[in-house]
Amino acid sequence: MKIALLVAYDGTDFHGFARQKHARTVQGELESRLSLLLRAPVETVGAGRTDAGVHAAGQVVSFDVSREIDPAWVQMRLNKLLAPEVVVRTAAKVPDDFSARFSATRRAYEYRLYRSPVPDPFRDRFALWVPGPLSLSKMRAAARALIGEHDFSSFCRLPEPDVSLVRNVHDARWVDLGDGLLRFDIEAGAFCHQMVRSLVGTMVDIGRGRKRAGDMAAIIRATDRAAASQPAPPHGLCLWEVVY
C-alpha cells in the first residue's frame, strides 16, 4: 500500500528537505524513523525540495509499504519522535500510482517579511526583517508582472542546458497582515531552484527604490541571472500547499 503524509516543519536546523549522506535533512529524518518503525528500508518522495533553512506548512511525502498499516499509527509514532520540529499533520492511504512529486499540479509558497525599527526575536525565525522605507504598492505592481507563463531563467540558480525554465505562475500577490507583517503568496505548477527567494529579493529592492516596479518585466525578459537581485534569505520562505 502507499501512504501520503502532510508534513509541516521548522527548517531552521535542517540542510533542506532532500536526503543527503552527511547532513541532517527532513527527508533523512523521516526515512530513518519510518525504517525503524516499519522494520524495513523506506524511501520517500517529496512534493518540493525545500532548501536549507526553508520551512514547510504543507509538504507532502509519499512512500510504499509492503504490508497494510494504519496511517494514523504512522502519524502518531512519527509525531512522538519528531514533533514539534517536524509534524505529520495528517496521514492517509493513497492510490498506488500516487506520487507526492509527480501527481502534484500546483505548489504554493509564502514569503514573510516584517517591518520594524529593530529586529523582533519572536518573528525573526519565520520572517525577514526589513528596516527602513518600503513601498508596498511598488512591490504589488512588480508581483503582477509575474503572473502568466514566463521563462524564469533570471531567477533560477544553476540553470542546466536544455532544461526549460518556463513556468506558469497562477497567482502572485503581497498581503498586508497588519502590525508590520507582509506576506508574498505565489502559486505555480512548479518552481525553479531559488525562484521564490530571487523574486522576493528583487521585489524588496523595488520596494526600497533600488529598482523600479516597471523593471520586473524587463528582468524576466532578460533571462539573465545577473539582471535579478540576490535571493532573499531562506528563513522567510515556507512551502505552503501542494495541490493534486
Quick one: which segment of 45-53, 122-130, 148-156, 205-213 binds its own copies (CB under 8 A)?
122-130
Cβ-in-10-Å burial (0-12, 13-18, 19+) of 121 comes to: exposed
**Residue 161 interacts with its own copies (CB under 8 A): yes or no:** no
Q: Identify which of residues 5 and 146 has a Cβ nearer to its own copies in the complex.
A: 5
Contacts of 59 (CB under 8 A, 6+ apart): 6, 7, 8, 9, 17, 26, 46, 47, 48, 50, 239, 242
Q: Identify which of residues 118 and 226 has a Cβ nearer to its own copies in the complex.
A: 118
Min dist. Cβ of residue 57 to its own copies (A): 7
- Build a one-symbol-per-residue string for 47-86: x at contacts with its own copies by CB under 8 A, - elsewhere: --------x-x-----------------x---x---xxxx
**Residue 124 interacts with its own copies (CB under 8 A): yes or no:** yes
Size of interface with its own copies, in residues (CB under 8 A): 23
Interatomic CA distance for residues 203 and 200, integer angstroms:
5
**Residue 88 interacts with its own copies (CB under 8 A): yes or no:** yes
**Residue 89 interacts with its own copies (CB under 8 A): yes or no:** yes
Looking at the chain, the number of H-run helices and the number of E-run strands are 5, 10
- Burial code (b: 16+ CB inside 10 Å, e: under 16) for 132-147 equals eebeeebbbbbbebbb
- Span 9-28, contacts to its own copies by CB under 8 A: 9-10
Contacts of 233 (CB under 8 A, 6+ apart): 53, 128, 197
**Residue 211 interacts with its own copies (CB under 8 A): yes or no:** no
Other C-beta atoms within 10 Å of 244: how many?
13
**Residue 148 interacts with its own copies (CB under 8 A): yes or no:** no
C-alpha cell at 106: 500546483
Nearest by Cα to 151 from 134, 139, 166? 166
C-alpha cell at 243: 495541490
Beta carbons of 65 and 56 less than 8 angstroms apart: no
Q: Identify which of residues 95 and 132 has a Cβ nearer to its own copies in the complex.
A: 132
Quick one: which segment of 7-15, 34-42, 64-72, 178-186 binds its own copies (CB under 8 A)?
7-15
Q: Identify which of residues 5 and 169 has a Cβ nearer to its own copies in the complex.
A: 5
Q: Identify which of residues 116 and 168 has a Cβ nearer to its own copies in the complex.
A: 116
Q: Which residues bind its own copies (CB under 8 A)?
A: 8-10, 55, 57, 75, 79, 83-89, 118-122, 124-126, 129
